[in-house]
Structure formats: C-alpha cells, structure tokens
Amino acid sequence: MPLPTSIRLDQETLSQIDAIAAAEGRSRHWLLQQAVKDALATRASYEAAVHKGIKQAQAGQFATEEEVEAVFAKYGA
C-alpha cells in the first residue's frame, strides 16, 4: 500500500512535471512515483557496478594499457 509523503519543488519544476504528466495522460503522482523508481534502479545498478569493479581490483584484475587506449580511442578521450 502506498504511503503518503511530501516534496517541495519550485514552480518551474512542478510545471515541467505537470506538462509531462499531461502529455502522457498520467497523473503527477504516477510520474513522480516512476521517477523515484527509475532513480532507485539507476542507483542500484551504479552501486553494483562499483562493487564489481572493487572486487575485480582487489583480485588484481585491471585493464591492460592497450584496453585503456582502445576505450580512449573509441570515445575520444
């Protein structure tokens, strides 16, 4: 069962939320709930990747110089 909560937003942000909700035929509540769920899923994915990287580093598994250069070349870094 959903529990009530509150959030304070500036008028511009609230107007943007309402515009998106209206365009999608959804309620403000639904849009905010989805945004929070999406943010939590993104955070969980990020944390899992960080923990995986830490475990790999602790096991001595590092990218080779060639692998790093290939990534830099691919993304222009």
Examine the pLDDT at 77 and tell me if it is beyond 80. Answer: no
CA dist 5 and 70 (Å) reads: 47
Examine the pLDDT at 53 and tell me if it is beyond 90. Answer: yes
CA dist 57 and 51 (Å) reads: 10
Distance of CA 17 to the CA centre of its chain: 18
- The residue with greater pLDDT, 27 or 2, is 27
Residue 76: what pLDDT?
A: 85
pLDDT tens digits for 3-44? 999 999 999 999 999 999 999 999 999 999 999 999 999 999
pTM equals: 0.74
Tell me how far CA of residue 33 lies from CA of 1, 10, 27, 40, 49, in angstroms. Answer: 13, 18, 10, 11, 25
